Structure formats: structure tokens, C-alpha cells
Structure 1
Amino acid sequence: MSRQLRSNFVVAILIALVAGIVSITASDTEKERVFQGVWVDGFEIAAFFEGASATDIPTLQMPSDGWLTFDEGQWPSEARSPNLPNWNETAFFEISFVGQKKVGRAGHMDQYLAEFTVERLISIDRVEPEDTRP
């Protein structure tokens, strides 16, 4: 192998290594933006259905878009407080927030394919699925 060929080979390997390291360490977190949808909160569940609304509330059998979590100080304590009646039952909320989506396993036992993080809550309203409405 000539000296020039060997040199080109070493450079090609170094470029491949750098490209591999960059792709491995690249973030799967999307840019901060406004999200709107339905959050289902309950025992071992914090499912977020992006784009859903009070008129088309998802069922628990439907696959969600991901796990919803809140940055420190963003928990909607007035809407989801232990002081409210039936607070420990599964509840549905129409929610709008500024936050980020990170693709990758998340939530209880990593059963969700993404994690949505609420960085600033815009609005939240409790809604009821049709099968529980009077």
C-alpha cells in the first residue's frame, strides 16, 4: 500500500469515526414549541395525545403520542391536586403548553415512544370521555 493511499485511508477512517460520534450524541429533542392535546393522568399513566381535543377524547386503548411530564414549578396544582375529590382516579385534561418533545423510550417502564415536557403551561381544563358523561 502506498504512503498516499494509506494516508487517505486513515483520513477516511477518522472522518467516519467523527461522523459516527456526532450521530450518536445528536439530540432527539425537538425545538421548543406550542403543543395542544389531551393528557390522561392516572396510576402509572401520563399519556399525551397530541392534537386531540374535548370533542374527540381518546380512549385508554388507543396508542398515545408519548409520556407527559412537567418541568419543576409547572405542575397544574389547581387542576390536579390531592385536595380535589377523586384526585387519585384517572382524569382527562385538554391541555396547551410550551414545551419540547424528546423521541425515545420514556414513562412508566419505558412503555412510551416519546416524552413531552411542559416548560410553560398555557391552559388546562378537565374533560370527560363520552362514556362517562351524564
Structure 2
Amino acid sequence: MEYDSYLRFVLALLLVLGLIAILAWLLRRFGFGGAMRADSRRRIQILETTAVGPRHRLVLIRRDQVEHLLLLGPQGDVVVERGIDRKAFEQEMARTAPAKLAAAREIARQDPPPLRQPTDFTTPHRDDSAS
């Protein structure tokens, strides 16, 4: 192959990458990429997220300086707590002794009990209606 075909390939690649960069800039400039940037003037913000399980996530959001805790999952979304006061939380955390925090962390590390008891499928089903 000649050097001119390599040069055309590199120039075409640069052109495509440049077009992608311009398109991304335009989308962000005109508001289509709002989730990509943090702006303190926005009325709604996602403060923290954490995975609770393989398909469930806790999300802490702030709307108009009021925080809400949401549980997101495949069966639906649930508001766990609304109207969380950040100042009261910070005061409580400052007041709590380190030993209490260590005990709370240990409890949080333990596995929760199952939501329901497993069904025993080994017993045969007796049909009383077919007598």
C-alpha cells in the first residue's frame, strides 16, 4: 500500500472523531447532556447512589434543598424517606459516640433475615376435590 492511502485513512478517522466531538459539544450546549454536568443552580440533584443488591439501588436526591431517599428496583420505585433535614443529620452524626457508630456498622454488615420462609416442595400435594 502507498503512503497516500494511509494518509487518507488517518484523515478520515480524524474527521469522524472531530464530528463526534462537535456533536457531543452541541448536545451538551443545548441541554441534552444535563446529567453529565453538576450545576449547583439546578433544582434537582442526585447526591449519592448505592447498590443494595444485584437489582436494587438506593438513591439520595435533593429537590429544592430537601433530600429524599428512593429505593429503585425492577418491581417499582419506592420513596423510603422524604423531607430529610441535612442539618439535623449532621448534628446527630456529630453527637453520636464512635462506639455507637461502630456497633451500627457491625449491624449493617450482618445479613438480613429472609423476606419469607422457603416453601417445602418435597411433600406431595393432596387434592381433596377429586374424591
- If asked which structure has higher relative contact order (CA below 8 Å, sep 6+), I would say 1
Do these two structures clear the TM 0.5 threshold for a shared fold by scoring above it? no
Q: TM-score, normalised by structure 2?
A: 0.24
- TM-score w.r.t. the length of structure 1 is 0.24
Task: Give the strand-richer structure, 1 or 2.
Answer: 1
- The structure in which a higher percent of residues are helix is 2
